[in-house]
Amino acid sequence: MNIPRNITVERSDAVPMEEQPFELVERKGIGHPDTICDSIMEAVSVDLCREYQSRFGHICHHNIDKGLLVAGRSLPKTGGGMILEPMKLIFGDRATYSCNGQLVPVGEIAEAAARRWIRENLRFVDPDAHLIFQNEIKPGSPELTDAFARKVIGANDTSVGVGYAPLSETERIVLDVEQFLNSPALKTRFPEAGEDVKIMGCRNGRKLQLTVAIAFVDRFVPNPQYYFERKAALRDELLTFIESQNGAFDSAEIDINTLDDPSRGEQGLYLTVLGTSAEGADGGQVGRGNRVNGLIAFGRPQTTEAAAGKNPVNHVGKIYNVLSREIAARIHREVAGVREVAVFLCSQIGRPVDQPLIASARITPEPGADMAELQSRAASIIDRELDGIDAFCQKLADGEFPVC
């Protein structure tokens, strides 16, 4: 295609993240209530896309990005506690319930997707016993639904997506530590380590401090002494893992479950029955968790859009955020001399998604790099990626790109 696009590439004078004096990075793990919401609503969207394409040959209007996980009530206890009241998962927003005279069982698809995701990711949560499902997905508005019937589907909103590359060392280690904590290998050695993990990484100069919250599963903890012994062993395991990553930090400190108070007995321990705080302490909501690169990086450009659950056809809150991340990664990977890059894609409601109002990259070059060459090559990559947006959106629909 030879579509003229408004593409700009400029030099950034920002100090590279690795050279800034401090850095704050957060990651909410797979069992955190917010991540549960994001992950399930994205799974619902993927399953709806599959159903729509199977029935009608195209993806119909839907946005399942208003989910809410209402915390239940539990009574954790060393040796094993009990669930007093189940959690409630509310599916929200809009979807197409009928097309060409055929009805689509949206509620059934949503609930089935949620049950499957829970069984695959949360070891101790039984969706039949520990969850109540409430379908509040309503049919779409006529104007938004009609947009999907048009030959050229325009952007559903005026919004901005942003991505950057590469990850800093702090960002990478925060992501890696959470994935390590929730890996099958670690769960085998530490079955008491629940899936609800939250990590805050603070880099001050070259000193790294990780504050880790991890829900212990009470059935594997016979007494408070054992809890603190296993917490210390887990801390040593994490320090060994960080050292194995060959990082350039001068030192690394890890604090786990800092609210613990040994003087309070069982009341001073972070115990759960099911491995997630959603069972009794904390609710979850779509969009309050990780951005599409899996992190909440407080010193980086980012959007407030919730990508999870949005449709992959015209919802730029999803398309542009994931695409800008992919474009930034490709520029950094393929264009020699790019130290850091941030990509911004701004839509205008109604315009084709391959023709953003503006597509912009800000590049921090390596010393001595030819900025004109970097600009030319980066602009070419942006243009090619926008040319291939249809294939990209299909991959989004198939769930090939993580969004949380």
| All domains of the chain in start order, with CATH | 7-15+156-167+296-397 (3.30.300.280), 33-147 (3.30.300.10), 169-285 (3.30.300.340)
Q: What is the pLDDT of residue 1?
A: 44
Q: With bands split at pLDDT 50, 70 and 90, how would you rate the model's confidence at 304?
A: confident
Predicted TM-score of the model (pTM): 0.95
Per-residue pLDDT at 4: 86
Rounded CA separation 402/293 (Å): 8
Buried b vs exposed e over 127-144: b needs ≥16 C-beta within 10 Å? beebbebeeebeebeeeb
At 20, list the tokens. Answer: 């800034």
Higher pLDDT among residues 94 and 3, named by residue: 94
Residue 146 has pLDDT above 60, yes or no: no
**Res. 3: pLDDT tops 90:** no
In the predicted structure, residue 152 carries a pLDDT above the cut 90 = no
DSSP 162-212: EEEES--HHHHHHHHHHHHHTSHHHHHH-TTEEEEEEEEEEEETTEEEEEE
pLDDT attached to residue 248:
83
